[in-house]
Amino acid sequence: MRDIRYLDDVATLIFDKEACVGCSLCTVVCPHGVFELIDGKAKIVDLDGCMECGACVNNCPVNALKVTPGVG
Amino acid sequence: MSIEIKPPLKHIQSENVSILPSMDRVSPVLFDEKKLKHSSPLSEYEKSGYVIAHFVEKFIETDAGPIPVVKRDLTLRDRVETLGARSGLTRNNYRIAPGLYAIGKPDQNSEVLVTANFKLTFDILRSSINSISAWILVLDSFGVNVWCAAGKGTFSTQELVNRINKSGLERILNHRRVILPQLSATGVKARDVKKMCGFTVIFGPIRASDIALFLQNRKKANADMRQVTFTFKERLILTPIELNIAFKPLIITTLAIFIISGISHKIFSLENSLNRGLTALIFLLIGVLSGALITPTFLPFIPFREFAAKGALSGFILAFCVLVLFSVKSNITYFSTSSSLSLLLFSTAVSSWFAMNFTGATPFTSPSGVEKEMRRFIPFQASAAILSLILWLYSGF
Ligand code: SF4
Ligand code: SF4
């Protein structure tokens, strides 16, 4: 959501590019368009848009993603 | 199935007394076989102890037994129930029976749309998928919407697998796939569902109104369908619940206000309590209105990112305007500098607090951000409230 923004520099999303197999599921489930698939790998394009819902973490097949909500 | 008609009894008697003459005759209408058969298409699906839901129009027979077909149009009853749920009056008990339903004329190739058993969610789904025929698998989310239930773990992988197995879907379908709302992804692990019951999970669009287009596009969602929105209307719809939550603390605060406002050099003055109490109550209501209604509704138009700051600003401005209005319109003498300042601080703190609470209802605030905001703003809100109290007490003497 680009029109309403919450705080910057608080999202705890961590992405392990090495582990990513480019399945694109994170780009499907994220409700804030945080990822794009670029050259067969996920890329975080809007970190501050992340609301730490955990949908991507829950569905990444190789545990390449992590969020720790509430310790920002 | 034919119903055996017994010859009418000559007399229905109770201890040899005919109670009513009409009781001697068995009503011919009751036993009119033709009428019985055609009375209602639903009647043969009635079961003792069950009520057929009012949104079911008929049943279709499948290899997994009769499946209720639901109406697409919402009735007046649905709309009234929606109002009740939105206002928070009936929200805690607004669920429908989980299980398999149908809409339109689905067959063995039709898609399966999975949803939650919060009636509002179900109503939105059945009324906004245009002319699509599909199966609707309703999970038991305890009457909670998809996103919240997924977060709480009730709209889960296990619940989905259990419902798929229990519904007999595999006896009905030629395929093995189900379409889930995207926002259920926090609770459902697609690959585990596949492992556990062989069904492929497809994450569909967020909004039910996009399902028709999604299916047309061969189950591809565009970027818009994948992103949550928080429009004016969506924000406005949430405010009754916010006001409802505010109600209880409001009552307690009101009591406290009247007691505190009465404290004066006479120890306690009833006149002060009523007069000053009423004034303080007005500014309490201004704070609540600003924090729980105005700030949420006009969220993106109020400066600052933190909700607490947005709330403080709008509460301050509103209270200031009302103070000016008061002092122009009337000659209320107790509006000293200290009491004016106290009232300003009071509305600001209350509004900031309720606005901060609204972070829990939005679809874009991260828990880490909320925690940061609370750490920063609760001390401010508390000091403003305490300062306001001291000034109010001071101005009472
Ligand atoms: S945690 Fe949620 S909002 Fe953040 S990147 Fe993952 S899916 Fe997107
Ligand atoms: S879900 Fe995981 S593996 Fe798949 S694209 Fe995203 S980060 Fe990569």
Q: Are residues B191 and B239 in the same domain?
A: no
Q: Are residues B238 and B217 in the same domain?
A: no
* pTM of the entire predicted model: 0.85
Interface test with B, best of A30, A59, A66 (most B CBs within 10 A): A59
Q: Are residues B222 and B238 in the same domain?
A: no
Stretch (H or E) spanning B372:
helix B367-395
What confidence tens digit (pLDDT) does each residue in B344-384 have? Answer: 999 999 999 999 999 999 999 999 999 999 999 999 999 99
Tell me if chain A has a CB within 8 Å of the CB of B183. yes
CA atoms of A55 and B253, how far apart (whole Å): 40
Query: Is the residue at A55 inside a domain?
Result: yes
Asked which of B184, B204, B228 is the last residue of a domain, the reply is B228
Q: Are residues B245 and B152 in the same domain?
A: no
Question: Domain containing B138 — which CATH number?
Answer: 3.40.50.11600
Q: Are residues B215 and B252 in the same domain?
A: no
**β-sheet bridge partners, residue B18:** B13
Task: Say yes or no: CB of residue A62 within 6 Å of ligand 2.
Answer: yes
Interface contact flag, A55 B185, Cβ < 8 Å:
yes
Q: Are residues B93 and B182 in the same domain?
A: yes
Pocket test for ligand 2, best of A23, A28, A44, A59 (most atoms within 8 A of CB): A23
Q: Are residues B213 and B240 in the same domain?
A: no
Interface contact flag, B189 A58, Cβ < 8 Å:
yes
Pocket test for ligand 2, best of A14, A35, A60 (most atoms within 8 A of CB): A60
Task: Say yes or no: CB of residue A52 within 6 Å of ligand 1.
Answer: yes
Q: What is the ipTM of this complex?
A: 0.95
**Could you give the 3-state DSSP secondary structure of residue B127?**
helix
Burial classification of residue B138, based on how many CB atoms lie within 10 Å of its CB (0-12 exposed, 13-18 middle, 19 or more buried): buried
Per-residue pLDDT of chain B (397 residues; tens, 9 = 90+): 445 544 444 444 445 554 454 544 444 444 455 544 445 678 889 999 999 999 999 999 999 999 999 999 999 999 988 888 888 776 566 899 999 999 999 999 999 999 999 999 999 999 999 899 999 999 999 999 999 999 999 999 999 999 999 999 999 999 999 999 999 999 999 999 999 999 999 999 999 999 999 999 999 999 999 999 999 999 999 999 889 888 899 999 999 999 999 888 778 888 888 888 999 999 999 999 999 999 999 999 999 999 999 999 999 999 999 998 887 776 655 578 899 999 999 999 999 999 999 999 999 999 999 999 999 999 999 999 999 999 999 988 8
Ligand 2 atom index nearest CA of A24: 5
Tell me if chain A has a CB within 8 Å of the CB of B221. yes
Interface contact flag, B226 A28, Cβ < 8 Å:
yes
Residue nearest to atom 4 of ligand 2 (CA): A23
Query: Is the residue at B6 inside a domain?
Result: no
Query: Is the residue at A34 inside a domain?
Result: yes
Q: Are residues B122 and B192 in the same domain?
A: yes
Q: Are residues B73 and B196 in the same domain?
A: yes
A25 CA to middle of ligand 2, Å? 6
Tokens of residue B227, six digits:
């992103």
Tell me if chain A has a CB within 8 Å of the CB of B363. yes
Q: Are residues B254 and B153 in the same domain?
A: no
Give the count of beta carbons closer than 10 Å to the beta carbon of residue B397: 9
pLDDT at B331: 61
Question: Domain containing A26 — which CATH number?
Answer: 3.30.70.20
pLDDT at B94: 87
Stretch (H or E) spanning B68:
strand B65-70
Interface contact flag, A53 B300, Cβ < 8 Å:
no
The alpha-carbon gap from A37 to the nearest alpha carbon of chain B, in Å, equals 13
What phi and psi, each to the nearest 5 degrees, are found at residue B202? Answer: -110, 125
CA dihedral for B211, B216, B217, B218, sign (positive or negative): positive
The alpha-carbon gap from B126 to the nearest alpha carbon of chain A, in Å, equals 23
Query: Is the residue at B334 inside a domain?
Result: yes
Query: Is the residue at B5 inside a domain?
Result: no
Matching residue, tokens 């690959």: B191
CA atoms of B257 and B274, how far apart (whole Å): 10
**Could you give the 3-state DSSP secondary structure of residue B249?**
helix
Q: Are residues B276 and B144 in the same domain?
A: no
CA atoms of B57 and B74, how far apart (whole Å): 12
Q: What b/e string do you get for A4-23 counting C-beta neighbours within 10 Å, with b at 16 or more?
A: bebbeebbbbebeeeebeeb
Query: Is the residue at A39 inside a domain?
Result: yes
Report the pLDDT averaged over residues A47-71. Answer: 93
Asked which of B200, B228, B256 is the last residue of a domain, the reply is B228
pLDDT at B90: 67
Interface contact flag, B372 A25, Cβ < 8 Å:
no
State in Å, rounded, how far the first CA of chain B is from the last one.
88
CA A12 to chain centre: 10
Task: Say yes or no: CB of residue A22 within 6 Å of ligand 2.
Answer: yes
B122 CA to middle of ligand 1, Å? 25
pLDDT at B311: 98
Query: Is the residue at A1 inside a domain?
Result: no
What phi and psi, each to the nearest 5 degrees, are found at residue B335? Answer: -80, 65
Contacts by B148-154, CB closer than 8 A, 24 or more apart: B149/B116, B149/B118, B149/B184, B149/B187, B150/B183, B150/B184, B150/B185, B150/B186, B150/B187, B150/B188, B151/A53, B151/B186, B151/B187, B152/B187, B153/B187, B154/B187
Query: Is the residue at A60 inside a domain?
Result: yes
Query: Is the residue at B24 inside a domain?
Result: no
Q: Are residues B125 and B162 in the same domain?
A: yes
What residues in B contact A48, CB-CB < 8 Å? none
Asked which of B210, B228, B246 is the last residue of a domain, the reply is B228
Q: Quick one: which of B127, B54, B60 has its CA closest to B96?
A: B54
pLDDT at B2: 46
CA geometry: angle B388, B391, B395, nearest 5 deg: 140
Cα–Cα distance list, A53 to A12, A69, B222, B364 (Å) = 11, 8, 21, 9
Question: How many domains in chain B?
Answer: 2
Question: How many domains in chain A?
Answer: 1
Task: Say yes or no: CB of residue A30 within 6 Å of ligand 2.
Answer: no
Task: Say yes or no: CB of residue A36 within 6 Å of ligand 1.
Answer: no
Tell me if chain B has a CB within 8 Å of the CB of A19. no
Residue nearest to atom 1 of ligand 2 (CA): A60
* Domain, as residue range, for B353: 233-395
The alpha-carbon gap from A59 to the nearest alpha carbon of chain B, in Å, equals 5
Task: Say yes or no: CB of residue A56 within 6 Å of ligand 1.
Answer: yes
